Every structure is written in structure tokens, then in C-alpha cells.
Amino acid sequence: MTSRSDHQRWIAQRMSHLETSGIRKIFELARSLKDPVDLSIGQPDFDVPEPIKAAAHDAIDRGANAYTVTQGIPELRAKIQAGVRERYHHADREAFVTSGTSGGLLLSLLCTLNPGDEAIVFDPYFVMYPQLVSLAGGVAVFVDTYPDFGIDPDRVRAALTPRTKVILVNSPANPTGCVHSRESLRDLAELAAERGVLLISDEVYRAFCYDEPFASPAEYNEDVLVIDGFSKAYGMTGWRLGFAHGPRRVIEEMTKLQQFSYVCAPSMVQHAGVVAWDYDVSAIVADYRRKRDRIYEGLKDKYELMRPQGAFYAFPKAPGGVGSAFVAEAIRNNLLLIPGNAFSARDTHFRISFAASERTLDRGIEILNRLA
């Protein structure tokens, strides 16, 4: 019989750099509460639209259940490629289908970062970014964006070193709900081009822009690598369907690595993606714009809160200034939130997900205003 020390010896050193997600800890806690008011989960509260579900059913029934080619079924890849070329007109821009947006992010960093390479990450950040950089052997270099969560190109320039290989940007952003201005994305894209740094743009919330049209840094730099997916706009979070597009040489390496890791995205889900690509989500986005207004108007008088411009998150400053302490008190009042230190070096804010029913939002607003 092996000992505990043997078990520990089996664990690779890279795992010591990864921490259990603070979000997952909240998910586990939710199971122990009775009828909690859950404003923690970053996934849509609507079901997958019926035509998309029907396409998946049909694919299963007709036997489309085997492995697909690694880069994705031709029907889906052709639609993505046509959309990308129509928008960007880049001769060297290729697309392929990934096993979720997170799968695309992991592939991108494993294919670009050598041990010791630096990746610039904007703080607050999506919880996976520093962990994935570390897993790839890189070093995350954080650029502060408080208090308005916007990108300051001068701060980015000051953070660049000869070891900088990648800049990661997310717009619309999780956890802040910030949509970076077209001007700041242009400046960031031009800076990356000037310094020969790969800019990776996570655009999974692209559909959820409430006040201004979506802008991508790829409009200003043909070498930007874009990571995108179907999970948020179509409620397909568990279906694991994403895509990436960027310079052909990078996409070739990502495709090769996918062949030896994920193999391919789920086959029946890819066939559903063909239908999803043409599905009109404007009514869904309009509903989420109303949710955004509901949460902002309900809290703005008692919280220091930037009006979310996209995604489905708000990131208020915690009363008392300590996000984790405030979230602990909220949980004692049956309200689930995520402390800001799950996304940041600071512990001053907390994240609200307004991907919830109107009843849940109203209950949450009542508790939050009472706690304030």
C-alpha cells in the first residue's frame, strides 16, 4: 500500500501553481444553502434555443457521432471562415473549431509561451488567465485598470520587457462588464504590432454589447489572435464549442496541439453550431440589456458602481472596502456573490452576475441594499 508521501510525489510541480477557482468554491457552497439568491454563476439563465437543440438531436439520430477532423466539420468551419473574412479582409487569417473557448485559450498559450516568457494580463481578469499562463510555463505580468477598468496604453508600454510574448485582452470583460473603447483597442493593437507581441483577444461575450457596437483589436492589427465561442450567446456553456481565428502559422500549431489533446470539439455540437451561427440572438441581448439596467438602477444609489457596458456582470466596490468580508456577510444572508479577489490582486470589489431571472435580481437588489 502506498503512503500519502508517495501520492504527493506523483503530483507534477506545475500543479502547485494552480489554485482552486474561487468561483467553484461558491458553486459548492450553493449546494448547502436553501433557496439561495444566486448572483454568482457566469452562465446564461436561458436554455439553448430550440432550433439549435433540434440540430444536435438530428446529428445524433443520423449517426454523426464519430470523431470529426481536428479543425472542425467543413460546414461549420466554412461559415466561421466566411464571417471572419467578411469582417477583417485579412489574407492570412485562418479559423478552426476548438473544444470550448477555454480550450482555445489553453491551446493558444501552450503554443506561444516558452518557460519564462511574460504575458500581460489586465487586472481585474478572467479567473483562468493567470492559471493558464502559469500552466504554459509563462509569467503573468499584471497591468492595473482600476478605478474605471479601462486600458491605459502607457501602463501597458511601461509593463513591456524583452520577455513579453503575449498580451491578453477581454472585451466585453469578465468580471467588470467593461467594453473597452474602440480607441483603446486600436492603441493596444498598434502597440502590440510595434513591439512584435502577440495580442490574444478573448471575445466570447462579443454579442453582449449594450451601448456601442462591438469592436475588435483585430480590426487594427492583422496578427491579433481571436478566441471566441458559442457558449454565452446561445446558452451552450456545457456543449464546449468554441473557435479561434488568427495568423495561419499560429492556427496551424494550435490545430496540431488540439489533435494531440482534445482531438476535436464534440461532433453533434458542431452540427448544432452550423444552425447557431445563423440564429438571431438580438432578442436575447435586448433582454440582458434590461437586466443590466435593472441591476444598475437598483444599486447605483448605494454602491460605487460602474455601469456595465457588456457581458452580464457588474463589479461594485464593497462597502467597508473588503470584498471577501462583504461576500461572507452576503452569504450569511443567503446571497451568493463572488469576491473580487478571485479576479484581482485587490480585495476591494465583488462580482454580480445578472444572468438570472427578474425575481432573483429583485431579491438580490433588496438584500444588497439592506447590507449597504
- The model's pLDDT over 75-84, given as tens digits with 9 standing for 90+, comes to 999 999 999 9
Expressed as residue numbers, the domain containing 317 is: 4-48+281-371
Angle, CA 234 vertex, CA 231 and CA 239 arms, to 5°: 45
Q: Which residue has the cell 467594453?
A: 179
CATH code at position 113: 3.40.640.10
Residues 73 and 168 in one domain: yes
On the question of pLDDT at 154 being above 70, the answer is yes
- 253-275 pLDDT tens trace: 999 999 999 999 999 999 999 99
Q: What proportion of the chain, given as a percentage, has pLDDT over 70?
A: 95
Residues 6+ apart with CB under 8 A from 13: none
Give whole-number Cα distances, 192 to 114, 169, 195, 197, 320, in Å: 18, 12, 5, 5, 38
**Closest by alpha carbon to 93, among 244, 202, 275, 289?**
244
Instruction: Give the pLDDT of residue 230.
Output: 97
- Read off the C-alpha cell for 268: 453533434
Instruction: Give the pLDDT of residue 11.
Output: 84
On the question of pLDDT at 70 being above 70, the answer is yes
Region 138-166: what's the mean pLDDT?
Answer: 97
Residues 21 and 126 in one domain: no
**pTM for this predicted structure:** 0.94
Residue 184: CB atoms within 10 Å: 18
Residues 174 and 307 in one domain: no
Please give the tally of structural domains in the chain. Answer: 2
Instruction: Give the pLDDT of residue 156.
Output: 98
Residues 113 and 208 in one domain: yes
Identify whether 58 is part of a domain: no
Residues 27 and 170 in one domain: no
Instruction: Give the pLDDT of residue 26.
Output: 66
Identify whether 59 is part of a domain: no
Identify whether 54 is part of a domain: no
Q: SS3 string of 193-233? A: HHHCCEEEEECCCCCCECCCCCCCHHHCCCCCEEEEECCCC
CATH code at position 29: 3.90.1150.10
- Of 10-24, 60-74, 224-238, 310-324, the one with minimum mean pLDDT is 10-24
- Read off the C-alpha cell for 5: 508521501
Give whole-number Cα distances, 133 to 14, 213, 328, in Å: 11, 30, 29
Q: Which residues pair with 370 in a beta bridge?
A: none
Residues 31 and 132 in one domain: no
Longest dimension (CA), the chain: 62
Identify whether 240 is part of a domain: yes
Amino acid at 282: S
Domain end residue (candidates: 277, 309, 332): 277
Instruction: Give the pLDDT of residue 227.
Output: 98
Residues 102 and 159 in one domain: yes
Long-range contacts of 220-224 (CB under 8 A, 24+ apart): 220/185, 220/186, 220/189, 220/190, 221/189, 221/190, 221/192, 221/193, 222/88, 222/90, 222/92, 222/93, 222/247, 223/192, 223/193, 223/198, 223/199, 223/247, 224/189, 224/192, 224/199, 224/200
Identify whether 55 is part of a domain: no
Residue 280: CB atoms within 10 Å: 8
Instruction: Give the pLDDT of residue 33.
Output: 76
Q: Are 316 and 303 in contact (CB under 8 A)?
A: yes
Domain end residue (candidates: 243, 277, 311): 277
* Band (20; pLDDT cuts 50, 70, 90): low
Q: Which residues pair with 200 in a beta bridge?
A: 168, 225
Identify whether 60 is part of a domain: no
Residues 250 and 322 in one domain: no
Residues 138 and 39 in one domain: no
Region 117-123: what's the mean pLDDT?
Answer: 98
Region 59-69: what's the mean pLDDT?
Answer: 97
Residues 115 and 204 in one domain: yes
Domain end residue (candidates: 262, 277, 292): 277
Residues 112 and 253 in one domain: yes
Instruction: Give the pLDDT of residue 182.
Output: 96
- 332-351 pLDDT tens trace: 999 999 999 999 999 999 99
- 80-96 pLDDT tens trace: 999 999 999 999 999 99
Instruction: Give the pLDDT of residue 130.
Output: 96
Instruction: Give the pLDDT of residue 27.
Output: 62
On the question of pLDDT at 1 being above 70, the answer is no
Residues 100 and 162 in one domain: yes
On the question of pLDDT at 220 being above 90, the answer is yes
Instruction: Give the pLDDT of residue 257.
Output: 98
